[in-house]
A = this chain, B = another copy of it.
Amino acid sequence: MSTTSRLVEVRQNVMKHNDVLARALRDRFEAEEIYVVSLVSSPGAGKTAFLERTLTTLRDRFRVAALVGDLATENDAARLARSCVPVKQITTGTICHLDAQMVESALSDWRPLKLDYLFIENVGNLVCPSSYDLGENLRVVLMSVTEGEDKPLKYPTIFNTADAGILTKMDLAAAAEFDLESACSNIQAVRPGIPVLQVSAKNGAGFEAWLDFVQSRREQFSAVTTR
């Protein structure tokens, strides 16, 4: 079908264009020694609650900021403003993911960027964000205990492009009859060797391990870039 093959071709061009922009972003973040973490998940897996607690804990010792993507509303930026760090909302309209151009534009009036960490919360979607490099150093996929243990098998690409997995809402694990072993085994089946952490943004469980993890990843990154 000619429209479909044309769509594929034009999409490939858009993807290539995104890769070029993402590479430029990554070079810039490296030059400015900013460690960039992106968060992807289903809608409602708890990215914003996770990010709020992360920002609130890190802000005492680090310069942190966040970009948050949604189709509509500034709700997430308003929630994250409670963490008292710079936060900017990107509203995508009907677009199902962030791209490198949106990240670049959102950062344009934050020059010069004096940051240790930049967090980017993607649109809630387990499909589309997987294909778009945002220039991040660490892509984290979140999955809540209420979503069903089979999600990694059903949405393999996003798990496959992630550098770490976070199981969220662990406080609901018993009520949801969550099968931890099955979830971990499904994640490992799709992305062997990926580190998987368990957290509850509600009661704070697991955040110490998560913050240790992200800091050690940043230190490895700094050791390489300042070598």
Contacts and interface: CB of A to CB of B under 8 A. Distances in A.
Contacts of A72: 153-156
A144 interface: yes
Contact of A17 (B1, B75, B131, B147): B1
B3 A10 contact: yes
Interface residues on A, range: 35 or more
A96 interface: yes
A43 interface: yes
A125 B96 contact: yes
B17 A6 contact: no
Contact of A44 (B4, B7, B131, B148): B148
Contacts of A58: none
Nearest to A171: B175
Given A42-B42, A127-B123, A71 B155 contact: yes
A125 to B, nearest CB: 6
Contacts of A100: none
A141 to B, nearest CB: 12
Interface string A186-217: 00000000000000000000000000000000
25 contacts: A3-B13, A6-B10, A6-B13, A10-B10, A42-B44, A43-B148, A43-B154, A44-B146, A71-B127, A71-B155, A71-B156, A71-B157, A72-B154, A72-B155, A75-B150, A94-B131, A94-B157, A96-B128, A123-B127, A124-B154, A125-B125, A125-B127, A127-B128, A128-B128, A146-B172
Interface of A: 1, 3-4, 6-7, 10-11, 13-14, 17, 42-44, 70-73, 75-76, 94, 96, 123-128, 131, 144, 146-148, 150-151, 153-157, 169, 172, 175-176
